[in-house]
Amino acid sequence: MNEVETMENKNPGEWRLFGQPIGDNGEWLYIVGRQRDMGQPLHSGNIEYRGKYTNKEEAEELKHKLLRGEVE
């Protein structure tokens, strides 16, 4: 079974932001992701990411586009 078929059989979560603190200066970077299978624990192997680590505003913009179906 390939990844696409596997995702179709699971219940993915909503797109959201995941943040990562960078250094000691209080700066954060964000990436958009969703839990692949809500029936399984949240861990790095159960998250589907989109885009790249960026500032919060750009990540929020991508999240809203994903939620509206404007990008895949």
Here the tokens at position 6 are 């596997």
Residue 5, pLDDT above cutoff 50: no
- Could you give the percent of the chain with pLDDT greater than 90? 81
Could you tell me if 15 and 34 are in contact, meaning their C-beta atoms sit under 8 angstroms apart?
yes
CA quadruple 16, 3, 44, 21: dihedral positive or negative?
negative
CA distance linking residue 70 with residue 47, whole number of Å:
21
* pLDDT tens per residue across span 31-66: 999 999 999 999 999 999 999 999 999 999 999 999
Kindly provide the residue ranges of all beta strands, DSSP E only, lying in 9-67, ordered along the sequence.
Answer: 16-22, 27-35, 47-54
CA distance linking residue 5 with residue 61, whole number of Å:
28
